[in-house]
Amino acid sequence: MTPIYDLHCHSFYSDGILSPNDLVSRAKAHNVSYLALTDHDTTQGIAVAQKAAKDEGIDLIPGIEFSTQWYGRGIHIVGLNIDLDAESLINGVAKQENSREQRARAIAERLAAKGYDGAYQGAQKYSGSELLGRPHFAKYLVEIGAVKSVAQAFKRYLGAGKVGDVKQMWPDFDEVIGWIKGAGGVAVLAHPDKYDMTRTKLRLLTADFAEAGGEAIEVISGKQKAGLATDMQRIADMFGLHSSCGSDFHSPGQPWQELGAFEAMPKNARPVWEFWST
């Protein structure tokens, strides 16, 4: 049996539900041999996850998922096999933390203009020790009855192009890829099919990503429709990128993004782990 690599998932240090310990146990139960923890803009969970992984006998690859922007769209870049002590990474994470805080205030202001006051404090109730993100605002909007569900909150107020979709704070590709490479890591364009772009736009995006020093693209992100991996592999080949795969797991009960539960890499793919395993 070929080992399963799941190179994209979240713990409760960003917007996931599970602790790093529970995440690692769940990965083990789903036969994952190599797991990368890639929380949004933070590496807080990595040390604990590494210890747990050692106990479970699986390999934990230190990772992160950075928020960036490209022509006014929010784009995610995953950094894999990063050195947590690298100065470039530490500075990058600190800068993102600050940007996330500024962004949360901007989202709250915009929601206030729509008649929903107190969103900053409201969202904070749900964030605990996490950095404030759109999911916390979504929960607040549900709480005050502005919407019926988190999904509806994104659809009406927080999703791409909506009033609370603030991404002006995020850095561009060059900066983020610089942080990742400065930490000896590999920069991976996350879930390319989830940006709601035409194929032409997606190719432009990938070209810019490769030009900025990006090295890989997620050809597989969770359970996806037949043929998509092959399609994404074509884009990888077009720009000489390696291929990555991951579930983007956030919480149990979402079978389309379950740890380790996705198809094998396309046959001709050059897997991203070639960068760190010899």
Of 171, 217, 172, the closest CA to residue 194 belongs to 217
**Residues in 36-55 at the binding interface with ligand AMP, rule: CB under 6 A:** 40
Q: Measuring CA to CA, which residue among 65, 114, 75 is closest to residue 205? A: 75
Task: Give the whole-angstrom CA distance, residue 197 versus residue 1.
Answer: 36
Please identify which residue in 19, 33, 106, 159 interacts with ligand AMP, judged by CB under 6 A.
159
Q: Give helix 87-113 / helix 134-143 axis angle, nearest 10°.
A: 30
CB of 166 to Zn ion, least distance (A): 16
**Residue 65: φ, ψ to 5°:** -120, 110
For residues 70 and 168, the answer to whether their CB atoms sit within 8 Å is: no
**Which residue has tokens 């604990």?**
48
Task: Report in angstroms how near the CB of residue 76 gets to Fe ion at its nearest.
Answer: 4
Question: CA–CA separation, 53 vs 60, rounded Å?
Answer: 6
38 or 122: CB nearest Fe ion: 38
Interface with ligand AMP by CB under 6 A: which range of 56-64, 130-138, 203-211, 214-222? Answer: 130-138
Q: Does 103 bind Fe ion (CB under 5 A)?
A: no
Nearest to Zn ion of 77, 210 (CB atom)? 77
Does 76 engage in binding with Fe ion (CB under 5 A)? yes
Quote the CA–CA distance of 216 and 63 in Å, as a whole number. 14
Q: Who's near 254: CB < 8 A, 6+ residues apart?
A: none
Does 163 interact with ligand AMP (rule: CB under 6 A)?
no
Size of the site for Zn ion (CB under 5 A): 2
The residue from 20, 45, 135, 164 that contacts ligand AMP (CB under 6 A) is: 135
* Stretch in the footprint of Fe ion (CB under 5 A) among 49-57, 62-70, 170-178, 205-213: 62-70
According to CB under 5 A, which one of 4, 12, 13, 15 is a site residue for Zn ion?
15
Residue with token string 């749900």: 126
Q: Which of 109, 85, 92, 90 is nearest to 170 (CA)?
A: 92
- Measured from the CB of residue 119, what is the shortest distance to ligand AMP in angstroms? 13
Q: Residues in the site for Fe ion, rule: CB under 5 A?
A: 65, 76, 190, 248
Q: Residues in the site for ligand AMP, rule: CB under 6 A?
A: 15, 40, 67, 133-135, 150-151, 154, 159, 250
